Amino acid sequence: MIKKDFVKLYAEMNNMDIKKSTEDVDEFLETLKDIFKTSSKVVFKNFGIFEVRETKARKIFDPRNQTDIIHSKPRKYVKFRTSRKMEEVINLLFLAKKV
């Protein structure tokens, strides 16, 4: 599902127009970005955890010239971990569709 599909589904479920639902989704995503500027973790109970993590610096070999070694810089990324309850719901839905 892409953002456009999510916005459409959100609008249908909340009986609102697409423009308003797009604003709501964009506002939520901007709020998440602002939170990550000050905090490294966002917890939604019974849903999951968004957490900022950092990769380590590594040595990378240049595939064009095997003798050159490039050093990558550490960088940050966001990891999402689902809660146990959300995993149970997803697994129940998956099993129901399979039958």
CATH (domain of 53): 4.10.520.10
Domain count, the chain: 1
- Residue 60: pLDDT band (50, 70, 90) is confident
pLDDT for 54: 94
C-beta of residue 59 within 8 angstroms of C-beta of residue 70: yes
Give the structural domain span for 30.
3-98
Mean local confidence (pLDDT), 44-63? 91
pTM: 0.71
Report how far apart, in Å, the C-alpha atoms of 59 and of each of 55, 66, 72, 73, 83 are.
12, 12, 6, 9, 35
C-beta of residue 57 within 8 angstroms of C-beta of residue 50: no
C-beta of residue 76 within 8 angstroms of C-beta of residue 65: no
How far apart are alpha carbons 24 and 73 in whole angstroms? 35
